[in-house]
Structure 1
Amino acid sequence: MCVTSCSRCVGVSLVPMAFVCMLANGLLLLPDLKAHYLLDGHVTREARWGTGLWASGFLVLIGARGFVIGSSREGCCAYRIEMLCQVGCSCVALAAAAFCCLVSATGLVQGPLCLHNSTQGLAWEMPLKLQKSGDPIYLFDRTLWPAACEEPRNIVQWNVVLFSVLMATSALQAILCAAHTINAILGIIFGPRFCKNKVSPA
């Protein structure tokens, strides 16, 4: 049936995306693959929130598991109850993925926390963060990247790539979860025989 097949397809698709988000967020916590930056508090707030780990990672994995193993109950009422539960799971996963996407976009725009050579000497700052609303975003001016940070090494590229991956993957998760919510609502309305009817030959 259409609803069940679509549900399982979405669930299977979400699993690798959740692991990509968890990996990207884990790497954001370890600039230059060194743990002392995290232990010393020299990692951006958006990375420390770990939304790729618990939101687009753990919560989406739980939802994906429900999508894959669900829809197996027999009987019209049991099937609709299962679909109602999947609507709830979809909404939670959708909210988690959307929140992760928003946090990732914020971290991407603000730039990394790094050891910056300011007018008052070396200090841990966010030198690429927008100071005024009319200022250009550093993402569109790569000439600012090399001189922005002294340490960690290549932290600007590190943050741009990983936050971009996290934002794009969580946005795709949110789209799939929204589509699955509509799919589950159709399952509630039309029941388990939705798309099962065949046109008889004339």
Structure 2
Amino acid sequence: MCTGGCARCLGGTLIPLAVFGVLANILLFFPGGKVIDDNSHLSDEVWYFGGIGSGILMIFPVLVFLGLKNNDCCGCCGNAGCGKRFAMFTSTLFAVIGFVGAGYSFVVSAISINKGPKCLLANSTWDYPFHSGDYLSDQALWSKCEQPPDVVPWNLTLFSILLVTGGIQMVLCAIQVINGLLGTLCGDCQCCGCCGGDGPV
């Protein structure tokens, strides 16, 4: 099996995850599916752009991973100067960048889920009514938020999507770090026998 082929597979998997991250973060600006009058009433974590960060930042590793499609496995056999090891090393560096972006999204989402959304309270002030995730196990507390409508399930759902998406991206990028290091040390293929050769690269 080629390490380059594994990288391309990971790159293809990261594309929909990055799209989900961007869309989820955009939707957070419309709590309850409504346009809010004052942007200062949005939760602070929405402005941290966790989903946009992991989505946009993930474009670079995705392009690098998919760019390895031009590195045909068979072409590396017996050709020490083909640059495949350098390409795999570069993919490792970009995988680290992707891991950092996904980790940022994961942390921001976890903090927001624990903190809860900012909303209009009964005393006509905008604040965070929940403490240390207490609302997660007691939906009766959701009634503390009078506006925007359904802001609690809206934020909880979208930040949960970002949390899961970021976690999966972190795992995939970590896999590529290991895969890229193997490709750097051993070449694009584990063995030239997979291409009809006689020995390892």
For Structure 1 versus Structure 2, the TM-score category normalised by the shorter chain is 0.7 to 0.9
Tell me how far apart the structure 1 counterparts of residues 80 and 129 of structure 2 sit (CA, whole Å): 59
TM-score, normalization: structure 1?
Answer: 0.87
Q: Verify: 1:142 aligned to 2:139, yes or no.
A: yes
Kept after mapping to 2: 8 A contact 1:17/1:173 = yes
Aligned counterpart, 2:85: 80
Name stretches of at least 5 consecutive residues in structure 1 with no aligned partner. Answer: 131-135
Q: Could you tell me which amino acid in structure 2 is paired with residue 107 of structure 1? A: S
SS at match of 1:187: helix
Q: Verify: 1:3 aligned to 2:3, yes or no.
A: yes
> Alignment RMSD, CA only?
2.0
Q: Verify: 1:128 aligned to 2:130, yes or no.
A: yes
Q: Verify: 1:101 aligned to 2:106, yes or no.
A: yes
Q: Structure 1 residue 195: deviation in Å?
A: 4.1
* 1:57-76 matched pairs, under 5 angstroms: 57-70=55-68, 72-73=70-71, 75-76=79-80
Q: Verify: 1:171 aligned to 2:167, yes or no.
A: yes
Tell me how far apart the structure 1 counterparts of residues 191 and 170 of structure 2 sit (CA, whole Å): 25
Kept after mapping to 1: 8 A contact 2:88/2:188 = no
Kept after mapping to 2: 8 A contact 1:72/1:79 = no
Kept after mapping to 1: 8 A contact 2:24/2:161 = yes
Q: Could you tell me which amino acid in structure 1 is paired with residue 109 of structure 2? A: S
Tell me how far apart the structure 2 counterparts of residues 161 and 179 of structure 1 sit (CA, whole Å): 27
Tell me how far apart the structure 2 counterparts of residues 72 and 159 of structure 1 sit (CA, whole Å): 42
Tell me how far apart the structure 2 counterparts of residues 154 and 195 of structure 1 sit (CA, whole Å): 56
SS at match of 1:163: helix
Q: Structure 1 residue 72: deviation in Å?
A: 3.0
Instruction: Provide closer, same or farther for how the CA distance between residues 122 and 195 of structure 1 changes in structure 2, counting only shifts above 3 A.
Output: farther
Aligned counterpart, 1:133: none
* Deviation string, structure 1 residues 39-67 (Cα, Å, up to 9, x no partner): 431111111111201x2101112211110
Q: Could you tell me which amino acid in structure 1 is paired with residue 138 of structure 2? A: D
Q: Structure 1 residue 106: deviation in Å?
A: 0.3
Kept after mapping to 1: 8 A contact 2:4/2:88 = no
Q: Structure 1 residue 103: deviation in Å?
A: 0.4
Q: Verify: 1:42 aligned to 2:47, yes or no.
A: no
Q: Structure 1 residue 168: deviation in Å?
A: 0.4
Q: Structure 1 residue 94: deviation in Å?
A: 0.3
Kept after mapping to 2: 8 A contact 1:115/1:151 = yes
Q: Could you tell me which amino acid in structure 1 is paired with residue 96 of structure 2? A: C
Question: Identity rate of aligned residues, in percent?
Answer: 32
User: Hey, which bits of structure 1, 4+ residues long, moved more than 6 A?
Assistant: none
Q: Structure 1 residue 167: deviation in Å?
A: 0.3
